[in-house]
Chains A and B, each alone.
Chain A
């Protein structure tokens, strides 16, 4: 076997230019597949993994019927006890929120806002923007008179630090409620909607504002592995029963899910096209090499070489082409994807800012790649498989040769 592989290797370099060109073509094909898959994984991954940019959870639990209109009256009782009951995968983050609409007013204007009553300790793990306070300070536990608002909202209402914001709401009992708060901090969010509408209060302050007692609107779960969301939502839903609605981000953001499927299909289509070209490259090299050496195969047969060994030699050449191409394509793909994980290589944000709201979540315009080593290895294994498959035809041609005829070949 070693001799065969050595012969196949040397055979490959009889025409070094042709081998290098074909190997580069196959390598570039593999590189593009890895790069594209890293790009798409980065694009979709940032939308899925970073749902905390929008304050969403991978799984959300609410009292039955709350989600339809987000009415304060449909809140859940004792969220702390409910969170204690949840058996979550390691690395998960969980927290409760009061969520409601309000009319926010300052001395300079009014604006419809979304109020999020949060536990500051838990929220720090759930929302990226909660921690990204650009002016002032973060919302502190016990600060029931303070609010933190988005940059765009602050601009609209011309509010600065320590400015006064009045919130008017419809309470759970149907009456009107209002509260006056001081701006403690102004946060930054890549989402235009969050930056322009969100107001953060402490949980007790929001419960008092909406007249909810110890109730909360929603419990948010964020996972280290978002792909577990559907299974987890189903499991929690069965455990909690019909008085709760438990939904995964896939149901919350069906467009995101659809886009994910669309991208998968596109990825498959592009990969198939590239692999088709890769296959042609390998077929070309192997077939040319076989056709040029008909007489040599005749000599091999004359010396007593069985067809099986000659076929193995042809496959050996295909194996080496695949190996060289994978070495080039995989190395380049891994290096560029690895570099692209920490550096922005693709930015289509001209005029869009840092992000744009799409399909219920926020897409970053500056996309970082997300390297998946298993996916890259899978793509490389496919190149090997393809090399073997396209090697069948040249190998079959060799087995059809008659020794005497092959020896007569030019």
Chain B
């Protein structure tokens, strides 16, 4: 079964009753478990809009979005919240760690929302930090970390609750080449070792090179959908 399946999705932005932007114009996409794929396209092509729809952060004007076989249009706000908490991990361009929490507390955040006990949270996040080489950052607040470190903690937060898919919106955009590569290596490792599905929106050629599948969006439509030979 596909982790994500969208059919004929249209998204229009409306202001004062008038459509001001046709962000997506009938997109079909199917993402299987374990994929490591990217959505590419110029600014305004609809990448972020598509990611928002896949992440249950927004609703389509028409069409169907299914995550783990569940049709999002039928779900209420509370159920959508729970779906995001349990099935979707997010990595943002600007890291967006909570500044008042330490790195470990940030990573534990979703587990806490899930009602996981404190002892279990500490154990799971401790193991994850060990594995990702973040142990030394555990007690640091975001302000004391570099951009690369923050983004790695953000990835830890996204995968701590073992979601079905991690959606990363231009995750390397604020990082230098070296940190960008290190981050991609880390996510690739998690994809291979744990079978976590990753979907990136990106302009970054380095990210596109490493993706197994690249979907190009142009003017809100899928222009190409290519799989690399390695995949």
The distance in angstroms between the C-alpha atoms of A88 and B191, with both chains bound, is 86
Cross-chain contact B58 with A303 (CB below 8 angstroms): no
Cross-chain contact B58 with A402 (CB below 8 angstroms): yes
Residues in B neighbouring A295, C-beta threshold 8 A: 96
A305 at the interface (CB under 8 A from B): yes
- A275-307 with Cβ < 8 A to chain B: 295-296, 299-307
Interface of A is mostly: helix
A385 at the interface (CB under 8 A from B): no
The distance in angstroms between the C-alpha atoms of A402 and B58, with both chains bound, is 8
The distance in angstroms between the C-alpha atoms of A301 and B86, with both chains bound, is 13
A3 at the interface (CB under 8 A from B): yes
Closest to B56 in A: A403
Contact of A306 among B58, B78, B86, B101 (CB under 8 A): B78
A10 at the interface (CB under 8 A from B): yes
- A356-410 with Cβ < 8 A to chain B: 402-404, 407
Cross-chain contact B85 with A304 (CB below 8 angstroms): yes
Cross-chain contact A303 with B113 (CB below 8 angstroms): yes
Residues in B neighbouring A350, C-beta threshold 8 A: none
Contact of B81 among A7, A11, A299, A304 (CB under 8 A): A304
Residues in A neighbouring B78, C-beta threshold 8 A: 306
* Chain B contact residue count (CB 8 A cutoff): 26
Cross-chain contact B100 with A304 (CB below 8 angstroms): no
Closest to A2 in B: B118
Cross-chain contact B81 with A306 (CB below 8 angstroms): yes
Contact of A296 among B84, B85, B98, B112 (CB under 8 A): B98
A17 at the interface (CB under 8 A from B): no
A14 at the interface (CB under 8 A from B): yes
The distance in angstroms between the C-alpha atoms of A306 and B83, with both chains bound, is 11
Cross-chain contact A10 with B100 (CB below 8 angstroms): yes
**Which of B90, B99, B100, B113 is packed against the most chain A CB atoms within 10 Å?**
B100
Residues in B neighbouring A309, C-beta threshold 8 A: 113
Q: Using CB atoms and an 8 Å cutoff, list the residues of chain B in contact with chain A.
A: 52, 55, 57-58, 77-78, 81-86, 88, 90, 92, 96, 98-101, 105, 109-110, 112-113, 157
Given A299-B92, A403-B58, A404-B52, A304 and B110 contact (CB-CB distance below 8 Å)? yes
Residues in A neighbouring B109, C-beta threshold 8 A: 303
**Which of B81, B105, B109 is packed against the most chain A CB atoms within 10 Å?**
B81
Please name 21 pairs of A and B residues whose Cβ atoms are closer than 8 Å in the assembled complex, sorted by A.
A3-B112, A7-B101, A14-B99, A299-B96, A301-B84, A302-B55, A303-B90, A303-B109, A303-B157, A304-B82, A304-B84, A306-B78, A306-B82, A307-B77, A307-B81, A403-B52, A404-B57, A404-B58, A407-B52, A407-B57, A407-B92
The distance in angstroms between the C-alpha atoms of A190 and B88, with both chains bound, is 80
B168 to chain A, nearest CB (A): 12
Contact of A303 among B52, B77, B100, B110 (CB under 8 A): B110
Q: Mark A11-24, 1 if CB is under 8 A from B, else 0.
A: 10010000000000
B161 to chain A, nearest CB (A): 9
Cross-chain contact B100 with A305 (CB below 8 angstroms): no
Closest to B83 in A: A304
The distance in angstroms between the C-alpha atoms of A306 and B110, with both chains bound, is 11
A408 to chain B, nearest CB (A): 9
The distance in angstroms between the C-alpha atoms of A407 and B58, with both chains bound, is 11
